[in-house]
Amino acid sequence: MLRFPGGGLMLQKDFKRLAMILLFAPFALWIVLLVVLPHIGMIRLSLREKVAPRVYEFGFANYLDFVNEPIYWNTLLRTGSMSLLVTALALLIGFPIAYYIAKLASNRTRGALFLICLIPLWVSDLIRAFGWILLLRETGVVSSFLQWSGIVDQPVEFLYNDVTVIVGLVYTVMLFMIVPLVSTLDGMDNSMIEAGYNLGGNGFTVLRRIIIPYAMPGIVSGCIVVFMLTAGSYLTPILLGGKNSSWFTEQIYNQFITRFNWEAGAAFGILLLLFTSTVIWLGLKLSGQTLANTVAKS
Amino acid sequence: MLAQNRSTPFLWGYRLYVAAFFVFLAAPLVAAGAFAFNDSLFPALPWQGFTLDWFFNDTEPKLGMFHDRRLLRGLYYSFVIAVMVSSLSVFVGTTNAFLFVRGQFPAKNFFYIVMVIPLVIPGVILGISILVLASDTANYLEDGFNLELEFLRPGIFLVVLGQFSFITTITSLVITARLKKFDETMEEAALNLGASRARVMRTITLPFLRPAMIAAGIVAFLVSFENFNTTLFLVGSEAPLTITMYDRMAKVGSTPVLNAVSFFLMVGSGLLALLSILVQRDKSSR
Amino acid sequence: MTNSPMYDLECINIAKSFGSIRAVDDVSFDIPSGSFFSILGPSGCGKTTLMRMIAGFEEPSAGDIKIKGRSVLGTPPNKRNVKMVFQHLALFPMMNVYENIAYGLRCNGVSNTEIKRKVHDVLERIALPDVADREIHQLSGGQKQRIAIARCMVLDPDVLLLDEPLGALDLKLREAMKIELKLLQHQFNTTFIYITHDQSEALVMSDHVAIMNQGQFEQIGKPQELYHHPKTAFVAGFVGDSNRWSGKVKSSDGSGGKVQTEQGLEMAFTAAGGLKIPEGAGVDIFVRPEFIHAVRQTDAESASATGDNRMEGIVDSLLFNGANSRVLVRGPQGELIEADVTLTGDDDIKPGENVYLFWSSRQAMCFASRGAA
């Protein structure tokens, strides 16, 4: 009988290569068509100047506009600094909660608490912001309650100020902070904490030297997602902050939809993207983490 | 045990804090839901009595959500979009999982990070970038070849693409995590027992992945359903529910019918989320 | 003995390289029908690669594999009638016991009534007639083991491969399963090829054992042969326990003589494996603890223990383990020597006592050192 030694091997190799190409195709199509090319298109558009109706030429005018108009870059700085503040607040408020869920709650309550944490995750931003409006506006629940209890004697408007915007944003993004924190803390062996106490540490040193370093990937991951979501959020600042919320995404929207100035809008988009990526990159560098072991893990 | 060195007052303070947090978490949702049952034209106090009119009444001014044409249409479009996005993203998520768990190719780690990146791009930017590319392409084809490609203009197709672009990252991560736990000797065992490769895939590998695929599909469905930022720029005349609601809220001023929709959505997504958890738990205990 | 259908499996000069690493190097063997054959070797010796080639998950780089006299090179794994029990069993968790066992039959297109008959038949034979409807996670470790075997046996394989299936079990269960496996093999009368790094598993169950090291077979033989007549120093050291010395041959008649160890000890030896060992050669000498008799120096005259090797020493410690108890004796040069002793609980040897150690030159197995030949 005639046989080809290694014939099966060749066939198997070809089969594997074919399978590889078939698997790579959807990935490549997705990334190239929906992420890479659109961003290239946006960069190209942002570098276009309008010199006459339907006549364009290459130039940095859109970026120069941004630099020359304080309103624009003030808005970006304001968006960035408030996003950082929101991120820090979310971490401060969320960490004890995550620690409680992961380490202190009994087995059964742990699952329930985590579930309660998750449920608002599946409720649209819009509904959450709507809830806050109902609570905080002049005719809202809090105002009515304060009048009824006699603390104030006329309606109070809680909406349309920075504090409310921050509260609303912290609320919106809180879950994205808690979920990665709980999952990293959950993976931490309780005996590590006990050993920390056993070796003579007090509550503070155990927290600083053992718990926080261990939870670092979760902390960084939570912070990245939260910062990104906050800086890119649109609904909450607009609805809770009103006309003068000056959020950068609103500028982008205005350029695109209201003024139909896509070139400027694209430039603003690139700037926002550069800004958030720089902050995330800095955060990763400073904390010594990588994207792969933080966000990808959660 | 973990708080053994802590005093009881500290622990009670801690618990109080946790409780306050959950009140904070629930308050706006309760407010949004509760006013759906208030027999008033405004979603505000005082409480005027219980009613289901905001769901079922069929006449103005108290037009219930199930008789409000525009809201129903929004719900329908949202549903259509979410179904398309979740099936597409689960499909690509599954191929990505196989690519990154089983595949050996150069720069794999780099590509893995590329896969994660859409999740950290602000949704607004994904929306405008896809809008720009689609419009450029459409304009180019129109000017150069006199081709009028309606699907490249804002509309359902672009909304689906926009949401798909980042939701696929989520489904890929979920399904990849599950596939990593798969014991590959199970496939070898099935081959050894005489199964063909296709049969192994159908009877062993996919059944193992099914809970993760269902869970990823539900997550994708919900994220798509509630998405606003990306959708805002890509939406055409077929506005999905979030956009319809936003218009209502920003322009018309809200009536409790929006609370009714909110309540409906909260219950719906709560049930779906619960389902996804049950699906995963059921199988993982085996 | 060449090609004849009485062998279920023949491997002819097979080799496998991964890049520059030679995992399996020119291995040949054949296994008579219906026997229990073990491949014993340390981890990383290539035994798993060898098994995967037989099952068809890897193609050999060279050589031929024949099953029932027919070459299976190029035959994909799902077309070979060689079934395999995996290290972690790889039972399918999404199917119950019945479906697990029926899986292979379904792949072969067997009718439902036939499947039902066969599954119940095989469950009877492994003495688990009532577990068909159980889920896999409801089974005990030993039951899983038997289901994994039944899942293969229901397909009437020419050869059953077992890849260290007892590794994950606890000690007690492992002991019980050894006997059970042997009985199952008798009952099915199918050729079993058993891979392990645990010598007691291999020695207890097998008709023949192959000792594998660094991709090659060192020796194939019956368990007693391997134990008492190892052909290489590796086999002598790997199978069973041994005291080991290195030294140089002082005088030799070819098959035996005197040797001086590196510590300066003189002893008589027998060249193992029928080798000729010339004077001046560097050698390794292995003496098993059970062939060394430890006797109190004060009792030495009356003791019946004899042997042409005698050594003085002091008992360093007693390793009590019932019938397998040992003493550690510190020799004149400070080295520790293990010897089996029978402890009766009454006037036994105690640490600190002076003893003589006796052993016969016939039990001092001697091999030319590697590289020194």
- Given a cut of 90, whether residue A155 has pLDDT beyond it is no
Are both A20 and A161 inside the same structural domain? Answer: no
Q: What is the pLDDT of residue C208?
A: 92
Confidence (pLDDT) at C3: 45
pLDDT digit string, tens, across residues C137-148? 889 888 898 899
Question: Taken in order A189, A194, A198, A202, is the CA torsion positive or negative?
Answer: positive
pTM value is: 0.82
* Domain assignment of residue A55, yes or no: no
**Alpha carbon distances (Å) from A101 to A283, B16, B18, B266, B278:** 26, 14, 9, 23, 20
Please name the member of A45, A100, A115 whose beta carbon is closest to the beta carbon of B14: A100
ipTM above 0.95, yes or no: no
Q: Which residue in chain B has the smallest CA separation from C58?
A: B188
Q: Which chains touch B (3 or more CB pairs under 8 A)?
A: A, C
Of all residues in chain A, what percent carry a pLDDT higher than 90? Answer: 8
- Nearest by CB to residue A27, choosing from B95, B136, B228, is B95
CATH number at residue A93: 1.10.3720.10
Query: Torsions phi, psi of C15, nearest 5?
Result: -145, 155
Does residue A131 lie in a domain region? yes
Same domain, residue pair A26 and A73: no
- Residue B284: pLDDT band with limits 50, 70, 90: very low
Q: Where do the domains of chain C lie?
A: 7-233, 241-373
Q: Does residue A56 lie within any of the structural domains?
A: no
- CATH code that applies to domain B84-284: 1.10.3720.10
Q: What are the sequence ranges of the domains in chain B? A: 84-284
Domain that holds residue A18: 1-46
On chain C, the residues whose CB falls within 8 A of the CB of A3 are 71, 73-74
Give chain C's mean pLDDT: 85
**Would an 8 Å CB–CB cutoff place C104 in contact with chain B?**
yes
pLDDT band per the 50, 70, 90 thresholds, residue A92: very high
Task: List chain A residues with CB under 8 Å of B226.
Answer: 122-126
Q: Do A257 and B233 touch (CB under 8 A)?
A: yes
Rounded Cα–Cα distance for residues C73 and C82 (Å) = 13
Residue among A96, A231, A272 minimizing CB distance to B17: A96
Q: A262 with A195, same domain?
A: yes
Read off the pLDDT of residues B7-38 as tens digits, 9 standing for 90 and up: 678 888 888 998 898 888 888 888 888 887 87
* Residue C61 Cα, gap to closest chain A Cα (Å): 8
Q: For an interface test with B, which of C72, C78, C118 has the most B Cβ atoms less than 10 Å from its Cβ?
A: C78
Spatial separation of the C-alpha atoms in residues C96 and C204, rounded to whole Å? 32
The distance of C75 to chain A (nearest Cα, Å) reads 7
CATH superfamily of C241-373: Nucleic acid-binding proteins (2.40.50.140)
Residues C27 and C210: their CA atoms lie apart, in Å, by 11
- Hey, of B14, B104, B128, B259, which one would you mutate to test binding to chain A, going by the most A CBs within 10 A of its CB? B128
Question: Is B185 close to C88, i.e. CB distance below 8 A?
Answer: yes
Which residue of chain B has the CA closest to A298? B173
A8 contacts in chain C (CB < 8 Å): 59, 73-76
Sheet strands (E) in chain B: none
Q: Residue C240 region, left (φ>0) first, then alpha (ψ -120 to 50), else beta?
A: left
Task: Note whether A4 contacts C: Cβ–Cβ < 8 A.
Answer: yes
Of A35, A119, A144, the CB nearest to B273: A119
Local confidence band at A1 (pLDDT 50, 70, 90 cut-offs): very low
Q: Which residue has the tokens 């492994």?
A: C126
Each residue of C292-336: pLDDT tens digit?
888 887 776 655 556 678 888 889 888 888 888 888 888 887 788
Q: What CA–CA distance (Å, rounded) separates B2 from C210? A: 54
Tell the CATH topology of C7-233.
Rossmann fold (3.40.50)
CA of residue A204 relative to chain centroid, distance: 29
Question: What pLDDT does residue C252 have?
Answer: 77
Least Cα separation, residue C35 to chain A (angstroms): 29
**In whole angstroms, what is the distance from residue C293 CA to residue C340 CA?**
7
The angle at the Cα of B171, spanning B169 to B175, to the nearest 5 degrees, equals: 120
- Looking at the fold, whether A276 and A178 belong to one and the same domain comes out as yes
Q: Does any CB of chain A come closer than 8 Å to the CB of residue C70?
A: no
State how far residue C307 is from chain A, nearest Cα, in angstroms.
57
Closest-CA residue of chain C to B186: C90
Residues of B engaging C, defined by a Cβ cutoff of 8 Å: 183, 185-186, 188-197, 199, 203-204, 207-208, 283, 285-286
Nearest CB to A193 within list B2, B246, B269? B2
Interface contact C6, partner A, CB < 8 A:
no
> Based on the domain organization, do A37 and A66 belong to the same domain?
no
Q: In this predicted structure, what is the pLDDT of residue B77?
A: 92
Among the listed ranges A122-136, B82-96, B216-230, C122-136, which one has the minimum average pLDDT value?
Answer: A122-136
pLDDT tens digits, one per residue of C90-106:
899 888 999 999 999 99
Mean pLDDT of all residues belonging to chain B:
84
Q: Is residue A54 part of a domain?
A: no
What's chain B's length in residues? 286
> CB of A223 within 8 A of CB of A207?
no
- Euclidean distance between CA atoms B272 and B276, whole angstroms: 6
Residue C183 has pLDDT above 70, yes or no: yes
- Is there a contact between A8 and C73 if contact means CB atoms under 8 Å apart? yes
Burial of C216 per CB tally in 10 Å (0-12, 13-18, 19+): middle
Which of these ranges, A254-258, B207-211, C287-291, has the smallest mean pLDDT?
Answer: A254-258
| CA-based nearest distance A67→chain C, Å | 58
In terms of domains, do A11 and A153 share one?
no
> By CA distance, what is A11's nearest residue in C?
C74
Q: Which percentage of chain C shows pLDDT scores above 70?
A: 94
Tens digits of residue pLDDT in A42-88:
898 888 877 767 777 787 877 887 888 888 888 888 898 999 999 99
Chain A to chain C Cβ contacts (< 8 Å)? 15
Quickly state the pLDDT bin for B1 (edges 50, 70, 90): very low
What's the domain count of chain A?
2
pLDDT of residue C43: 85
Could you say which of B99, B114, B249 has the minimum Cβ distance to residue A130?
Answer: B249
Nearest CA in chain A to B272: A122
- What's the pLDDT at B206? 92
Q: Which of A20, A34, A40, A280 to mutate against chain B (most B CBs within 10 Å)?
A: A34
